[in-house]
Amino acid sequence: MKNSEDYNNNDSERSEDSTLEQVFILIKKGIQLVDLNRFIDGINYYKNAIKLMKNIGGFENEVEKVEKLLEEACNKQEQYLQKVEQESGVIEKVILTKEEQLAEFERKRKKEKEISAEAYNLLEKGSLLIQSNRFDQALEKYMLAIEKFKEINWLTEIPKIHILIKKLNEKKEVILRQREAKMKEEKLRKEIVEKKKEFLMQRQDFQKMSAEMKKQKFDIFQQQKKKEEKLSSEAYDLLGEASKLEEQHRFDEALEKYQHAIENFKEISWVSEIPKINQLIKELNEKKEVILRQREAKMKEEKLRKDILEKEKEILLQRQDFQKMSSEMKKTKFNAFQQQKMREEKLSSEAYDLLGEASNLEEKNQFNEALEKYQHAIEKFKEIHWDTEIPKINQLIKELEDKQKKHLEFFIKEKEKILQLKAQQEKSKEIELIKEEFLQKTFIDKDKEKKLKELKKE
């Protein structure tokens, strides 16, 4: 799906690029026509360029620039007309009659029809050329068709031709690949022919030898050929056996056969066969891995099924044993069970009471006492093997410790504040005492001064 989206996006981008190319051609043609004082045609080209850019979207700045060119062309047209009027001294306005307009329209329509017919004819010829694999000539026809459509301003047909060109290139690539493969095949065939020629030449050389030499060489050749036939035959047999073993999922044995076959081919220098066997070994290993996973999953499933059956048998046997017991034994067991249940209820009730007490103590900030209650509750639950409750109490203990830590920090801060307040009060008292002493001293000094004055008067 993603590949399809990417392909569509690429196609859309190519179409947009093609349209932009058309825009630039229209602007360039418009500038040329205005420079040649063909203002009406130039203005039409500018308008078509603006229309295409607005259809694409996202080219506001470029549209403004072309609109300025359009405005300049209109101004130039007006200036040109004024100049002509001044030179001739006569103001002439060219107004086509209705008949002339119709004649002009008919002429343009006829020309357009002729050019479009030529373009479509070129496309048809291109299609026929593709069928005969003459891709370069077909591409030329398509490019000429594009030029024709541009000439009559049929710009909507151009993206369709670009799609045909794309398909042409794809088909060309496929044909080239096929040709390449055929060339390789032809090359291989020629190499075989050359080998045969070489073999024939060797045979001729061999025939020219003396009878003794012929015999010796022939014997060696025969031995070599027999060895090749024997080992290659064994190797191919080994490959067949390996394939069967692989089908039976006897992968290790199959691997041994493949490796033995490689050794045989190496011995007779048939190295071209080795990569093929290596590929078979790779596929075997992949298949082995898949099968092993499936077996492992099946074994787990089988083990689970056996465990369930064993459990069911065990339960059935326990039930049979229980049924075989005497009524007295049943009663004894039932009483023991009842006692166990009562003990569980008693200890669990005590444990939950301890948890309630611990919670109350925690609210009163009596953390150590609360911790003892929690630990005592854990012991109760351990005694009756209610292990699932212990992590919950451990979590409560953790929360209690966090709370205790925060409370301790708060208590220390409060104590520090009290100590600071006491220190400030002590300091205030010292200041008051110093002040009082100073006042007393001042009072004594004044009293002395008064008495001295009185003595002087006497």
Q: Is 248 helix (H, G, I), strand (E, B) or coil?
A: coil
Same domain, 132 and 19: yes
Residues 74 and 130 in one domain: yes
pLDDT at 324 over 70: yes
Of 177-181, 224-228, 363-367, where does mean pLDDT reach its minimum?
224-228
Identify whether residues 242 and 133 lie together within a single domain.
Answer: no
At 116-145, the pLDDT tens digits run 899 999 999 999 999 888 999 999 999 999
pTM of the shown model: 0.27
Residue 271 lies in a domain: yes
Average pLDDT, the chain: 81
Q: Which residue is listed with tokens 């630990």?
A: 375
Least-confidence region, from 143-147, 180-184, 195-199, 340-344 = 195-199
- Structural domain contains residue 119: yes
What is the rounded average pLDDT of the residues 233-237?
88
Q: What angle do CA 134, 135, 137 make, to 5 degrees?
A: 75
Counting residues of the chain whose pLDDT is more than 70, the rounded percentage is: 83
As a whole number of angstroms, the distance between CA 31 and CA 265 comes to 75
Q: If 0-12 CB within 10 Å is exposed, 13-18 middle and 19+ buried, where does residue 76 land?
A: middle
Question: Is residue 1 in a domain?
Answer: no
Listed in sequence order, the residues at least 6 apart from 386 whose beta carbon sits closer than 8 Å to its beta carbon are 344, 348, 351
Q: Closest Cα to residue 260, out of 229, 281, 246?
A: 281
Burial of 283 (0-12, 13-18, 19+ CB in 10 A): exposed
Residue 355 belongs to a domain with what CATH number?
A: 1.20.58
Contact call for residues 26 and 45 (beta carbons, < 8 A): yes
**79 and 163 belong to one structural domain:** yes
- Domain count across the chain: 3
Domain of 287, in residue numbers: 217-296
**Residue 172 near residue 135 (C-beta atoms within 8 A):** yes
Q: Are 128 and 252 in a shared domain?
A: no
CA angle 156, 58, 151 (to 5 degrees): 25
Query: What does the alpha-carbon distance between residue 312 and residue 130 come to, in Å, rounded to a whole number?
Result: 75
Three-class DSSP category at 133: coil
Please report, for residues 161, 166, 344, the alpha-carbon distance to residue 123 in angstroms, rounded to integers and kept in the order given. 8, 14, 95
Q: What is the spatial distance between Cα 385 and Cα 50, in angstroms, rounded to a whole number?
A: 86
Q: Is residue 282 part of a domain?
A: yes
Answer whether residue 94 is part of any domain. no
Q: Angle 20-25-26 (CA atoms, 0-180°, nearest 5)?
A: 95
